[in-house]
Structures are given as C-alpha cells and as structure tokens.
Chain A
C-alpha cells in the first residue's frame, strides 16, 4: 500500500496531517497490518494535553496491544468516537475514516522533523 504524500510520518508508525487550523493523527497501513485485527482503541479525552513522543492512547488487536505515540505536542480538540464501536475502521481505512485524534499544535515547527512519505516507506522497506 502506498503512503499518502499529503502528510508526515513517525518511526513509531503514526501519521499526522494538517487540516485547517489543526492536525489529524492516525496509524499507518503498515502498522495496522502488523497488528492484525484491531479490537479496541483507547483514546484520550478532549482537552487533554499530549507531549511529542509520549503515549496518548492504546491500540489493541487480537494478538497484542501497543501504545499510540503523539508525533507532536498539543491539545486534543476531537477524538474519533466512531472507533469505540468500529475499531476495525483502522484496519479497513487507516488513512481516512480510521483517524484517531485531532490536535491543536503547541509548536507547528515540530512537524518539520517528522518523516516524509518516501522516507517512511523506506523505513518500512516498502
């Protein structure tokens, strides 16, 4: 699967995309494929502050559970509550309906340090 070029990526397999005055965050196609069938996503609350590199949630599949890491610091302004009942959306559509949180960035220059689609694809050997 190709990783969309309209966003940045982390080595921990999250993507982050600018949208209006905020950023949308999810996990990559590679990550969902490695995890297998996703059964649960634990997300933060609106208003929570997250720190770049720190865990903001947990994703659980039939075989494991992993932390979700924030690509940048900021305040959570929206969470994808559809994932409570439809966690499989992360498997089916990781780059669109499977998004997880929206952040208002503390410092939008942090995003410049993240990987491009091409660099990320290289990391995952695809």
Chain B
C-alpha cells in the first residue's frame, strides 16, 4: 500500500478494511452542527498576494535588533559571531539525527566529545554529558540523579532559582512522591534577602539546588555551603544562570558542586522565541553512572588510531528501558555544536571579555538608575549583568510605558514573586552601548 497518496480507490479499500461504508461515519460522534462549521474565510489569495500580506504582518514584529533590549531572566542577548551559524548550518551537522549507529558518525561524536570537554572546563567538573534539552530540564535531571544517589526523597530549592526551572523540577518529581521545600524570598531594608537554604535541610534531603548568578542576578557567596550540605548527607546542585558569567566567576566545581548544570543559550545560541536551546550538565566522576543522557568517549581503534564512541550506554534507554537513568534526556547535539563553535571562537580570553563588558554595563546602569528618585536597586551586591530595580509603579506598568518608547525593558517578576510587585528585572550584555543605557535611564526618569 502506498502511504503518500489518497486516491478514491485507496480510500474505499481502507474503509472496507475497517468495515465502514462512508468516511462521514467516522465522525458520527461529533455533534452534527459542529461537524462542518462555516468558516467564512475571505476569498483565496494568489501566492504573490499571500507573500505580501504575510510580509506586512511580519514587519509588525519587533526583534532585539530593532529596539534596545534589556530583557534577561534566563535568556540573554549576547552576540554570536557569524561563524557559529555557518558551522551549525553544515549539512553533516544540520541534517543528521541522533546517531543510533554512532560509530559511523565520527565527526558528530568528535564534536560531542569536544563539547563535553568544554563543559567540563566551564563547570569545573570531570564528567559531562552531550547535553540535555535546556537549563531547566538539566536541573530536573540533576534532582532525579541526586535522589537516586542518596535514596532520599526531599529536595531543597533556593527561592532565587529561576521560577521556570523550579516549575520543571516540580513536573519531573511530581509522580515520584518527592517533597520540595523552597526558601522564602523577602524584601527587607531595601534589599532582597533569602531564607538560609541549610535551615530547610534534614536527614531526608537528597540535594540542595542553588542558582549562580541567581534569578535576580546576584552572585552568591557559596563558601562553606558544599561542606555543610555534605555533612547532612545531601548533594549540592549548582545551576548557572547566564553561562557567560563563567568567564570571570568561580565554576560550580570550584564551589564544591556535586552536579552542575547551565542553560547554554548565552553561549552563541539565538534567542529563538525561547528555544530550542541546550542544557549543560556535569558531575563528579564517582557519580557518572547516574548521569543521564549520551556521553561520547575517546578511544583507539584496532590500528591504534584515535576514534570516538558512545560510552557508558548501559545507563541509556535503548538498553535499560524503564530502568534507564532517564527517558527524557534527548541531547541537543546541533545546539551543543553551536556552543562548541562559540566557545572555540572566543576562547577563555574572549569569554572573559564578554563577561567583563556585560558586568561593567550593568554596574554603570545600576549606578545611574539607583540615583533616580523613586528607583532603587534591590538585588544584593555583587551582581553579574542583571539586577532587580524597585520601581515607583508596578513592574508591568513600567514595562508597558517603556515599550511605548521603543525600549524592550526588562521583565516584571510579580507573577512569580507577588511580594515584588513594584519590580523590574533588567539585564545588560556587551550588545548594549552606553547610549542605549542612557536612553533607558532618561526614559525611567521621565515616567
């Protein structure tokens, strides 16, 4: 049978097979008046007319290339060198699916191996996988991993972990009877403060999850946290916010993380309406058999030449089925290759420069905005490239009025933090020249 067409004879043959006379009978359960509603469509357009119409609609969109962008909250408008897109567009990378007969795809495996090596460097840990869906699912997988390793059933999340990451963690553990405790965020003395996560840890806690820099841009002092968490028999998971921060700040491994994750979007991936991106994930070597997802390994072939394989596959779903470390861990190989290209092109010095500039611009903006009457920077210092500003009006209203002035200005946080209604989260990158920041400051002054 040919599946690509539906000629009347084929339709008749199918209906005969299932014992139905006319196709309409298949819709008998749909109320008659809902079956064929009048659509009242305008007359059909020609291709030429349709293109013009759609072009006009598309022109009404505004992108970060049109207006100054100060939006962050998990997605950052960093610059990606053109070569990143060209490398991702190579057909051998762009059109290939996950290698199910992996060893024939030496190029893809080598790219995965290079990516993992870079992730190990960035996150400061010795074992990395070939990526998971995104930063949020990486945190979800880290929590499940900690639960398997400790055989405990409580999880402590810092309240300053991205609200959407926390939501994904909730989805991941919902059916497993895992309890989630979240530290409270408060606004006191004009600065954000957070309940001590350690106060929520008990003998049933599998792991503590903190974000660095956190959702409000704050670079947390994590000294001593890892030891304190380990003393209580739990593991420390550190999720990195804007990953370019790793160009200047200590890595999760250096802070003593057992498992580290990051959203890879900042590292050369387009914003593309919120994804697809890639989740970075690494852990200490003794935990590698609980690390989900694909792992490329380097080896030598029969003749002693360097080659690459998928390694530790016995953790994976094609072998372990329902007992696999994860069944929701598809790697984002193409996007991981983009990250590899970005990091290779910038090198450590380039990444440091991106981080230094992003930070310097945020410091400049904070000084100017903090000096405006009615505004106050309430993210504790030090911050990286993002901070929460207390605004005279609700964050939503300020955002709306700035949009009228063609400024993509920040994210109100009141949906997730009702106590922070008069607040706007502002982010800065190397792509914001001083003139744009000055324009934002003047717009805020004039509200």
Contact = CB atoms under 8 A, between A and B. Distances in A.
Most chain A Cβ neighbours within 10 Å, of B289, B314, B315, B320: B314
B323 interface: yes
Contact of B289 (A40, A61, A67): A40
B323 A67 contact: yes
A49 to B, nearest CB: 12
Contacts of A65: 314-315, 319-320
A42 interface: yes
A51 B323 CA distance: 18
A78 interface: no
A62 to B, nearest CB: 9
A108 to B, nearest CB: 27
A27 to B, nearest CB: 16
Contacts of A61: 314
A42 B314 contact: no
Interface string B199-222: 000000000000000000000000
A64 B314 contact: yes
B319 A42 contact: no
B289 A64 contact: no
Contacts of B320: 65
A60 interface: yes
Interface string A35-69: 00000101000000000000000001100110100
Interface of B is mostly: helix
Interface residues on A, range: under 10
A126 B345 CA distance: 61
B44 to A, nearest CB: 58
A91 to B, nearest CB: 16
A42 B323 contact: no
A32 to B, nearest CB: 15
A42 B286 CA distance: 12
A65 B323 CA distance: 10
Contacts of B314: 40, 60-61, 64-65
B323 A64 contact: no
B103 to A, nearest CB: 14
A70 B89 CA distance: 52
Interface in B292-333: 314-315, 319-320, 323
B318 to A, nearest CB: 11
Nearest to B286: A84
Contacts of B323: 67
Contacts of A60: 289, 314
Interface string B53-85: 000000000000000000000000000000000
A60 B289 CA distance: 10
B275 to A, nearest CB: 32
A40 B314 CA distance: 10
A10 B139 CA distance: 40
A67 B314 CA distance: 12
Contacts of B289: 40, 42, 60
A71 B366 CA distance: 66
Most chain B Cβ neighbours within 10 Å, of A60, A61, A64, A65: A65
Contacts of B315: 65
A57 to B, nearest CB: 12
A65 B315 CA distance: 8
Nearest to A62: B314
A40 to B, nearest CB: 7
A60 B314 CA distance: 7
A21 B323 CA distance: 34
Nearest to A42: B289
B362 to A, nearest CB: 46
B311 to A, nearest CB: 10
Contact of B319 (A40, A64, A67): A64
A60 B319 CA distance: 11
B235 to A, nearest CB: 15
A51 to B, nearest CB: 15
A79 to B, nearest CB: 15
Most chain B Cβ neighbours within 10 Å, of A40, A60, A61, A67: A60
A81 to B, nearest CB: 13
Contacts of A42: 289
B24 to A, nearest CB: 51
A121 B224 CA distance: 57
A40 B319 CA distance: 15
Nearest to A65: B314
A121 B319 CA distance: 28
Interface in A64-89: 64-65, 67
A61 B320 CA distance: 12
Nearest to A59: B314
A11 B158 CA distance: 48
A31 to B, nearest CB: 16
A61 B315 CA distance: 11
A42 B290 CA distance: 11
9 contacts: A40-B289, A40-B314, A60-B289, A60-B314, A61-B314, A64-B319, A65-B319, A65-B320, A67-B323
Interface of A: 40, 42, 60-61, 64-65, 67
Given A64-B319, A65-B314, A65-B320, 9 more contacts: A40-B289, A40-B314, A42-B289, A60-B289, A60-B314, A64-B314, A65-B315, A65-B319, A67-B323
